[in-house]
């Protein structure tokens, strides 16, 4: 039976069931006038069984519908039939133990490649594959029974023996410093050029000023989240002040997660479109860095902001650090969206982008969540 035919049958069955309920309800009200002992008739078992059977069939067909883009991708990539059509044994075993994120089923070739490994040996060097799956919503990824690669000298920052990645063009820390001079891989520049240590423009919010603001409001800063925190510069600066900050990371063209970890900090490898793995109302501070900007779709951004509200405690702070957008969009879209949170504006600074050609601006905002709703 085709999916379209099943959908039609389901619609008819649902309508029949609705009419049955309506007629039963009408009879019930008519009967209650005559007798207070009457009760609502139950739905016949054969109707329920038929409806459940139809729904199960539709669910099966929709779950196993081939993804057209995946099929094209598979043919172009010339993936072997054994890897693209037959699920790996490890995937079959894991699927019986724990549920797999629904989005993973839309990319079977990538999922099969990820789970096609040798158990109880070193895990494949497949950071790029992991990133592809996570960004497509396949998150959290299925667990694997293999050993992850780890640096030999995790306490040292730059020794080449700590390089455990193979996907990126840079194979050394010196290369990362040269190729990405402004992305935090050169720790020697943090004290002299860090935006967290000095006030150079109205967009800056030095940590000393942040701590003073919190102290004046009798608000304690103990635990924070740095969204898109790069190599962990903010978390490292807060750690020096005995404040724990977790950094969300994605390895876009560089090993940010590894860099954060080698500084003795915790990288949370999660995408922006997923719910943060943090309990409700426990975080004192959330900072949004360069990863949170106008490139995020508006509706996704709104859900994201409310997820930040979920993890922030009453009286906690949301810090938008150099949020980038067009001025007209900031005024008409993002400012009203932020206003829906009902937070107090502790700092709200807008400055034009220096080389702006289309009216782009930066926003730095420090917002305080109400203690009670």
Task: Convert the pLDDT of each residue in 24-34 to its tens digit.
Answer: 433 433 444 34
Percent of the chain whose pLDDT exceeds 90:
51
> Do 310 and 277 meet the contact criterion of CB atoms below 8 Å apart?
no
Instruction: Find the mean pLDDT for residues 1-23.
Output: 42
More confident residue, 43 or 308: 308
Q: Which residue has 């379209």 as its token pair? A: 4
* Cβ atoms within 10 Å, residue 356: 12
Secondary structure (DSSP) of 15-27? HHHHHHHHHHHHH
Residue 373, preceding bond cis, omega within 30 degrees?
no
Whether this prediction's pTM lies above 0.85 is answered by no
- E-assigned strand segments in 214-358: 223-227, 244-248, 267-268, 283-288, 312-326, 344-352
* pLDDT tens per residue across span 152-178: 776 666 666 677 777 777 877 788 888
**How remote is the C-alpha of 52 from its chain's centroid?**
34
The pLDDT, as a whole number, for residue 272 is 87
| Mean pLDDT confidence for 341-350 | 97
Express each pLDDT in 229-246 by its tens digit.
988 999 999 999 999 999
Strand partners, 312: 283
Query: Taking residues 66-91, what's their average pLDDT?
Result: 52
Q: Classify 137 in phi/psi space as left (phi over 0), alpha (psi -120 to 50) or beta.
A: left
Q: Where are the domains of the chain?
A: 92-136, 185-369
What is the domain class of 185-369 according to CATH? alpha beta
* Per-residue pLDDT band at 45 (split at 50, 70, 90): low
């Amino acid at each position: 039976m085709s999916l379209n035919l099943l959908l039609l049958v389901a619609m008819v069955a649902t309508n029949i069931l609705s009419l049955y309920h309506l007629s039963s309800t009408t009879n019930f009200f008519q009967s209650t006038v005559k007798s207070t002992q009457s009760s609502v008739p139950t739905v016949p078992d054969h109707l329920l069984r038929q409806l459940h059977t139809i729904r199960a069939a539709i669910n099966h067909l929709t779950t196993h519908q081939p993804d057209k883009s995946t099929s094209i991708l598979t043919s172009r990539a010339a993936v072997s039939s054994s890897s693209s059509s037959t699920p790996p044994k490890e995937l079959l075993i894991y699927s019986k133990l724990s549920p797999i994120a629904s989005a993973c089923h839309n990319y079977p070739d990538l999922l099969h490649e990820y789970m096609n490994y040798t158990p109880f040996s070193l895990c494949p060097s497949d950071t790029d594959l992991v990133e592809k799956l996570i960004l497509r919503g396949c998150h959290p990824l299925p667990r694997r029974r293999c050993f992850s690669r780890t640096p030999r000298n995790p306490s040292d920052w730059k020794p080449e023996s700590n390089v455990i990645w193979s996907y990126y063009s840079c194979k050394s820390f010196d290369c990362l410093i040269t190729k990405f001079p402004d992305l935090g891989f050169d720790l020697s520049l943090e004290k002299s050029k860090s935006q967290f240590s000095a006030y150079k423009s109205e967009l800056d919010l030095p940590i000393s000023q942040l701590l003073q603001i919190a102290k004046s409001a009798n608000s304690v800063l103990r635990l924070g989240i740095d969204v898109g925190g790069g190599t962990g510069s903010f978390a490292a600066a807060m750690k020096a002040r005995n404040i724990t900050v977790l950094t969300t990371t994605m390895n876009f063209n560089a090993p940010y997660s590894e860099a954060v970890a080698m500084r003795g900090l915790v990288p949370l490898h999660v995408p922006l479109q997923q719910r943060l793995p943090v309990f409700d109302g426990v975080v004192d501070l959330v900072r949004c860095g360069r990863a949170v900007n106008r490139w995020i779709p508006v509706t996704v951004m709104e859900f994201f902001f409310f997820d930040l509200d979920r993890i922030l405690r009453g009286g906690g702070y949301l810090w938008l650090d150099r949020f980038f957008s067009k001025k007209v969009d900031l005024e008409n879209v993002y400012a009203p969206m932020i206003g829906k949170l009902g937070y107090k504006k502790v700092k709200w600074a807008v400055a034009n982008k220096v080389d702006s050609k289309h009216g782009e601006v930066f926003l730095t905002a420090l917002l305080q969540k109400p203690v009670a709703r």
